[in-house]
Amino acid sequence: MSWRIFHAGMTDVGRQRELNEDVLRVAPDKNLFIVIDGVSGTQGGEVVANLAADTLLDHFTHTSLETSTCASIERLLEEGLKLANRRIIEHVEAFPRHRASGAVAVAVVFDEDHAHFAHVGDARAYLYRGGKLRSLTRDHTWFNDLLASDIELTPEGIAYAARYSTVVIRTLGMEASVEVDLGHVDLEE
């Protein structure tokens, strides 16, 4: 089956910041779509966001796939995000004023039958199908990890913890290694 992909994108600085730390990269010939968001409010967020996006785009466009299986495409996305993480760490070592910089990322690649996605942090991928929108990714936040744990929480505990629902615990540039969540969804007509 052959798909025609139409895309549009826009970023906005919003009302809270002076600099736009959002980055959108598209490689139409590779059906690759990347969204990176610099960690809000840190000096250099826009720098590391661009570095991460360029690294992933470069890795994906200059690495050939031996086979185009789900696993190989997702592995390529994972390798690219891990490489972006290393580049951010190297950048921060060279520019200490950016030491608190990091980025969250989501990338999607379409092949003939699937949409493959990879993400770190709270950047999201969604699927719109049958008139319904659903998230394909789970935010890497303290609150989500708490809810997914085996810890029994009272309603009061959940209410207290919900105040920290936006505390991201996994970003590019946070640690020397990063875990990348991967997945794919079947495409339908």
Give 15-65 pLDDT, tens digit per residue: 776 777 889 999 988 899 999 998 866 678 889 999 999 999 999 888 876
How does pLDDT run across 101-159, given as a tens digit for each residue?
899 999 999 988 899 999 999 999 999 888 999 999 999 988 888 778 878 888 888 88
Q: Quick check: 36 and 49 in contact, CB under 8 A?
A: yes
Q: What is the pLDDT of residues 62-106, one digit of tens each?
A: 887 666 778 889 999 999 999 999 999 999 999 988 888 899 999
- State the pTM of this model: 0.88
For residue 66, what pLDDT is reported? Answer: 65
Query: How many Cβ atoms from other residues are within 10 Å of residue 61's Cβ?
Result: 13
Token readout for 83 is 């490489």
Q: Provide the pLDDT for residue 74.
A: 93
Longest dimension (CA), the chain: 52
Buried/exposed code over 12-29 (b: 16+ C-beta within 10 A; e: otherwise): eeeeeeeeebbbebbeee
